Amino acid sequence: SPALFFSRLWLVTATARGASSTTSGSRDNTNTTADTWQQSAPKPSDWQPWPYSWDVFPALYFAANPEGDYTVSQLRRIGKFQLAIIEFRQSQFLGEETGTGKWADGDEGSAASRQCQRLKQVTTADAPPCLTYRSGMWGGTMYPLQEAHMRAHPDAYLPHTSDCDGFTDYPLDIINEPPNASGIARCRYDFTEEAARTFFSSVLVQRGVVEDAHVDGLFVDNGQSVPCDGEGEYSARTRPQRRRLQRRTLDAHADAFRRLVDAGKYPVLSTTNRYSSVARPLVPWESDCPDGEERTVQAFADAGVPFARNNEFWMWNLGETCAAQLQNSKLELDDGIPVIVHAPYFRSGKGCLEGCFGGVQGDRR
């Protein structure tokens, strides 16, 4: 049922000041910030899987069908978008029908990859690039490679186990949901451990995405959520400890993204981070990042890796929060970083968030 889809509207902005309506990705010669660090690296604005300009921006499809494979009709509709991202709830409830009782029959990675393969078969030459999803924060037993690693290397995951059961126990038995079904307690990567960094880049990304012929790139969610968590929801680490964790996380992501780029595949990083010069958080959680976004940009530049940055909860609130998001995005564009935004759409409000309405329902301000 389409009503079960977790559909979203995604937009990607042009990446350079002064880009003309006819030349995608042209750069203003006065913008030296990005040019300085991109002299020996691929310029993100020159390496995109979609056309754009100041007059035309692509709409991106980010969703999943938790019931099973998309139908041919649905795939044709997805093919009208300029980019498709299949998220981690793909085929989530399939095990209820097949009898395995497992999330995506125990292999979420294959379920997502299969949608990319079928999208290309149905839409042929018009198929948009198709990316799949991995979390930059947690490991889940719906991915066989992750389950095996979580069992073999528990020390590669943080000891803070709150809310882990949804990623460890539930995927193995979505029907009965028994407690402690997996025997795995930890679920969030500790990238200060070499075993976590090596697994993420050389196994999870290399084998699960780079070597998958049907997938064109990777969306890494919650890229800096744990290091930026000042409330202690995800770990009990002090701020200096979170700084070290953030830097080792960047090491893992840079290596993984380098592998993707070398294979001609596109990386997207979703993060709540912001430039240090932007005073107000972009969202009111996971916003205490020890290192500002400029260090992230520099780390990927040093690795010669172009990437796009995703913004969740884009303009979900007006006023100072909205202003901070716009200010931060301008700095990203000045640095040549493509910006993807998640813009929630509410049909009853004709696309506008609650912040666009007054006290009377339907009174658009």
Is residue 314 very low, low, confident or very high in pLDDT (cuts 50, 70, 90)? confident
Check residue 52 and give its pLDDT.
63
- Mean residue pLDDT of the chain comes to 82
Distance between CA atoms of residues 149 and 157, nearest Å = 10
Is the separation of the CB atoms in 62 and 87 below 8 Å? yes
pLDDT tens per residue, range 222-245:
999 999 999 999 999 999 999 999
In the predicted structure, residue 294 carries a pLDDT above the cut 70: yes
- Burial of 262 from C-beta contacts in 10 A (0-12 / 13-18 / 19+): exposed
Distance between CA atoms of residues 313 and 340, nearest Å = 11
In the predicted structure, residue 146 carries a pLDDT above the cut 70: yes
Is residue 353 very low, low, confident or very high in pLDDT (cuts 50, 70, 90)? very low
Q: Percent of the chain having pLDDT more than 70? A: 78
CA distances from 16 to 178, 201, 259, 329 (A): 52, 30, 25, 11
Q: Percent of the chain having pLDDT more than 90? A: 64
Q: Give one word for 166, left, alpha or beta, with left for phi > 0 and alpha for psi -120 to 50.
A: alpha
In the predicted structure, residue 46 carries a pLDDT above the cut 60: no
Mean pLDDT lowest for which of 54-63, 110-119, 249-258?
A: 54-63
In the predicted structure, residue 191 carries a pLDDT above the cut 50: yes
How many CB atoms are closer than 10 A to CB 333? 20
CA 303 to chain centre: 19
Q: Are strands 9-12 and 339-343 parallel, antiparallel or unpaired?
A: antiparallel
- The count of residues in the chain is 365
CA 353 to chain centre: 22
pLDDT tens per residue, range 83-93:
999 999 999 99
Residues 6+ apart with CB under 8 A from 80: none
Of the candidates 315, 307, 310, 275, the one whose C-alpha atom is nearest the C-alpha of residue 292 is 275
Of the candidates 134, 114, 127, the one whose C-alpha atom is nearest the C-alpha of residue 267 is 134
Q: Are strands 83-86 and 9-12 parallel, antiparallel or unpaired?
A: unpaired
Structure tokens at 364: 């658009």
Distance between CA atoms of residues 204 and 254, nearest Å = 14
User: Could you please report the per-residue DSSP string of 111-139?
Assistant: HHHHHHHHHHHHHGGGPPPEEEEEESSB-
Helices and strands (H and E) in the chain: how many: 10, 8
In the chain, which ranges are E strands? 9-12, 59-63, 83-86, 130-135, 217-221, 266-270, 308-311, 339-343
Check residue 36 and give its pLDDT.
32
Under DSSP, is residue 347 helix (H, G, I), strand (E, B) or coil?
helix
Check residue 20 and give its pLDDT.
25
- The alpha-helical segments, DSSP class H, found in 265-352 are 293-302, 320-334
CA distances from 356 to 195, 337, 341 (A): 47, 28, 18
In the predicted structure, residue 304 carries a pLDDT above the cut 70: yes
Percentages (nearest 5) of helix, strand, coil residues in the chain? 40, 10, 50
Mean pLDDT lowest for which of 4-13, 177-186, 257-266, 298-307?
A: 4-13
Check residue 301 and give its pLDDT.
87
Gyration radius of the chain's alpha carbons? 20
pLDDT tens per residue, range 1-34:
222 233 333 444 433 322 322 222 322 333 333 2
In the predicted structure, residue 54 carries a pLDDT above the cut 70: no
Distance between CA atoms of residues 328 and 213, nearest Å = 35
Residues 6+ apart with CB under 8 A from 300: 253, 254, 257, 306, 307
Structure tokens at 233: 């929801």
- Residue that wins the pLDDT comparison between 290 and 21: 290
pLDDT average, residue stretch 50-71 = 82
> Which residues on neighbouring strands pair with residue 10, listed in sequence order?
60, 342
Structure tokens at 47: 């390496």
Check residue 51 and give its pLDDT.
62
> Which residues on neighbouring strands pair with residue 131, listed in sequence order?
85, 217
In the predicted structure, residue 187 carries a pLDDT above the cut 70: yes
CA atoms within 13 A on the CB side of 168: 22
Check residue 15 and give its pLDDT.
35
